[in-house]
A and B are shown apart, each in its own frame.
Chain A
Amino acid sequence: MDAVAVETAAILVPDLLGWVPLQTGGDWMFVWENRRFLLLGTAVTILLTLASVGLGFLLGLPAGAIEAYGDGRLQSVVSTVGVALRGTPIVVLIVLFFFGLPIPRQLGSIPVLDVRMSGFLAATLALGLRSAAYQSQVFRGTIQSVGEGQLKAARSLGLSKPAAIRHVVLPQALRRSVPGFQNEFTIVLKDTSVVFAIGLAELLRRGYQLFTQPGRQGAIIEVILAISLIYFVLTFTTNRLLDLLDHHYAIPGGES
């Protein structure tokens, strides 16, 4: 660093520190003291994300294949359900599933995490089904992007249509799906915060519980910043992992 830069920094940094209330160590200590409480919320967020994205994949992939290849009734049922799910606000879905579905309330709680099983199931269903509706569009698009000649060549060897789709079309479509899937993964991760609405103790909810304690309102910025940082680390890590997956499975020489 040259002298001018050091001088500029010396003027600016205290200013910035004054603007962002970072120097009041007490509130950051408060966040630190409650780290275990927040990390448990993080665990809930991760669990809920994995369960929802997983459910979304299991339903979204076949749904995408049906939209790409199916004909008639099944295809129109699948695409109508997709439109409905994509067209409904996620909070509405979660509240609807939580109060509308006959999920037994006496399932108890997930140990340690302090989360009601019934709420977790309702949230997973809502987030998972909505994610399936979005993932189906990712997969439909990439399935359709695999050239018709690939299917023709596989069929001309004597492979049945399902076998040709499974061994020739899907391996190529799934590779092309990683970027879209990456997006969807990040969106679900962040959207788990709306389970707030049914009182699930995930990351944001727990943060809220911290700064609404009597006398702790002053820590609101610190708590929210800490939570944002955790969300950032989670999305960043997920994206990097999926990048690695993408590179690992990339077809040498590109696609011809």
Chain B
Amino acid sequence: MTLLAFDGVTKHYGEELVLDAVSFELDRSEVEVIIGPSGSGKSTLLRCVNRLAEVDNGTIRFDGEPIGDTDADELRRQVGMVFQDFNLFAHRTALGNVTLGLRRVRGFSKEEARERARRELEQVGLGAQLDSYPAELSGGQKQRVGIARALAMDPELLLFDEPTSALDPELIGEVLAVMRELADDGMTMLCVTHELGFARSVADRLTFLEAGAIVERGDPERLFTDPRSDRTAEYLSRLTGEY
């Protein structure tokens, strides 16, 4: 069952073409990983899904509806986003970061919101950090708050924009573990990441994006072992260090 569908999506920033007729479909409960060199349009692609960026041409359908037809705030409630640099609300505790959307968007009472937020934070292993402020948390903890904040909205789809790129290497594992758990629970996920191990073991689809266009898309294992495009082979071998 298709949850997200791109159909000939094109996007410019000024003169520059950042997305070039991108088409693909993502089924419910599937995990898709997008890789590609920096500037290839990966982040822009994610932002088009929750309309933080608007497309120039083509259609994006979410749950069958063109996203241009739905209210952007309503769409964003259903599509969670996790950011590279966390973007936690600096003036709110971990708990406060999660309750804001529950209170102001989903209309939870104060107690309901606190209860739900506590559960989400316990789920990502932060039951002891409920009252910590972002500046008091490690990078890995911050990103797990970011994930809990997105999950609390009960999204249909989660977007991950390089969730581990700003982390020290030893903190990456704890974030990937949470993401793996989500995938196992059947969350639909669209992830921009350079974590090839995660792509290989968790993703159902792997997409290689370059210069705004999809070069190759398919089963991750197949892309690693038997890429059809030379560019894919070259990029993957460079990432894995197999020169």
Residues of A with Cβ closer than 8 Å to B? Answer: 147, 149-150, 152-160, 163, 167-168, 171-172, 175, 251-256
**In the complex, how many residue pairs between chain A and chain B have their CB atoms under 8 Å apart?**
81
Given contacts A152-B52, A156-B76, contact A256 B134 (CB under 8 A): yes
Contact at A251–B90, with CB atoms within 8 Å? yes
Which of B33-41, B99-107, B171-179, B217-225 forms part of the interface with chain A? B99-107
Which residue of B88, B101, B133, B142 contacts A158 across the interface (Cβ within 8 Å)? B101
A-B contact pairs, 27 of them (CB 8 A): A147-B87, A149-B85, A150-B90, A152-B87, A153-B88, A153-B149, A154-B100, A156-B50, A156-B150, A157-B100, A157-B101, A157-B150, A157-B153, A158-B76, A159-B104, A160-B73, A168-B89, A168-B100, A251-B91, A251-B135, A252-B135, A253-B134, A253-B135, A253-B136, A256-B90, A256-B135, A256-B142
Q: Which of A158, A168, A251 has the most CB of B within 10 A?
A: A158
Q: How near does chain B come to A31, taking the closest CB pair, in angstroms? A: 48
CA distance A239 to B164 in the complex (A): 44
- Is there an interface contact between A153 and B133, defined as CB atoms closer than 8 Å? no
Q: Are A172 and B91 in contact (CB under 8 A)?
A: yes
Interface string of B151-166 (1 = CB under 8 A from A): 0010000000000000
Q: Tell yes or no: B81 within 8 A of A by CB.
A: yes
Q: Do the beta carbons of B83 and A254 come within 8 Å of each other? A: no
B203 to chain A, nearest CB (A): 22
In the bound complex, residues from chain A placing their C-beta under 8 Å from that of B149 are 153, 157
Q: A155-B76, A158-B101 are in contact. Are A253 and B133 (CB under 8 A)?
A: yes
In the bound complex, CA of A42 to CA of B11 (Å): 64
Q: Is the CB of A254 within 8 A of B105?
A: no
Q: Which residue, of B80, B81, B88, B100, has the highest number of chain A Cβ atoms within 10 A?
A: B100
In chain B, positions 31-72 with a C-beta closer than 8 Å to chain A are 50, 52
B52 surroundings in chain A (CB, below 8 A): 152, 155-156
B104 near A163 (CB under 8 angstroms)? yes
- Taken together as a complex, chains A and B put the C-alpha atoms of A152 and B76 apart, in Å, by 11
Say whether B134 contacts A156, CB under 8 Å: no
A154 CB, nearest partner CB in chain B, Å:
7
Q: For the complex, what is the distance from the CA of A171 to the CA of B50, rounded to whole Å?
A: 25
B114: A residues at CB distance < 8 A:
none
Extra 15 A-B pairs, beta carbons < 8 Å, given A158-B73, A175-B91: A150-B89, A156-B50, A156-B80, A157-B76, A159-B73, A159-B100, A159-B104, A167-B104, A251-B91, A251-B135, A252-B133, A253-B132, A253-B133, A254-B135, A255-B90
Q: Which residue of B lies closest to A252 (CB)?
A: B133
Closest to A153 in B: B87
Determine if B74 is an interface residue (Cβ-Cβ < 8 Å).
Answer: yes
Asked if B135 and A159 sit within 8 Å, CB to CB, the answer is no
Instruction: Give Cα A157–Cα B98 distance, bound, in whole angstroms.
Output: 10
B77 at the interface (CB under 8 A from A): yes
Supposing A156-B52, A252-B135, A256-B142 touch, asked if A149 and B73 sit within 8 A by C-beta, the answer is no
